[in-house]
Amino acid sequence: MSENGSAPAAGFRYGVVFLLVLIVVVVLIVAPAGDWTYAAVFALEGAALVVVVATSRSRRDVRRARSALTGAAAAALVLVVALGLVPAAILQTAGGLITVLIPLTLAGGLLRLVKARGVTLQVVAGSLAIYLLLGLTFAWLIGVATHIGSTPYFASGTDGTQSTHVYFSFTVLTTTGFGDLTAGNPPGRALAVLEMLVGQLYLVTVIGVLVGNFRRR
């Protein structure tokens, strides 16, 4: 017990978050597109969000309440998606919103952890999880663009599948550029340039600084 009588705060578990997000990336690329695949993805992302909330440095009662609310909301979303009750455009938008919510929630914990303990392995894992989430966020944005755009997203004349969107997003984020897929319209090209800049700036600044400080520990 702490001096004020409250229970001690939980430890950060950002390695678990990184693992869950990595599984999401693999599932979206490998599994066939369908309601059950999206339901599994939302279940994994919901679990990652619950881990972030449940292992934060808030008071135990606050953590429990927030975790229960987050878990209930995630379970409800998984159910309606699995039953095929969510239109494709809304599904893509919901996926993007959840993917953005995880790093926004995680960032505050990372800052507190760095201030309290410096750069630890958990900090590096959390930062890498955010990097993966950036790629997923842009993949969901591509999915939304394919539903609202009047022309095919890719220069090959197709909109691609969710697997294609994730694959393309990470080749852009990492500036790998295999050349098999390119954005075929100005909005798509602008989104690709933005993702390249975000990905490289994040690696050079955030990841570079954290890894550099971790090595000096």
In a domain, 7, yes or no: no
What's the rounded mean pLDDT across residues 196-207? 94
Residue 127 is part of which domain span? 14-215
CB of 133 within 8 A of CB of 99?
Answer: yes
CB of 172 within 8 A of CB of 138?
Answer: yes
In a domain, 84, yes or no: yes
Structure tokens at 198: 């975000």
* pLDDT tens track for 156-194: 999 999 999 999 999 999 999 898 999 999 999 999 999
User: Angle of helix 60-82 relative to helix 88-117, nearest 10 degrees?
Assistant: 160
In a domain, 120, yes or no: yes
In a domain, 141, yes or no: yes
Number of domains into which the chain is organized: 1
Which residue, chain included where needed, has tokens 């993007």?
96
In a domain, 81, yes or no: yes
**Rounded Cα gap, residues 195 and 201, in angstroms:** 10
Predicted model pTM: 0.90
In a domain, 146, yes or no: yes
* pLDDT tens track for 112-153: 888 888 889 899 999 999 999 999 999 999 999 998 888 999
CA atoms within 13 A on the CB side of 97: 8
Given a cut of 80, whether residue 58 has pLDDT beyond it is: no
In a domain, 186, yes or no: yes
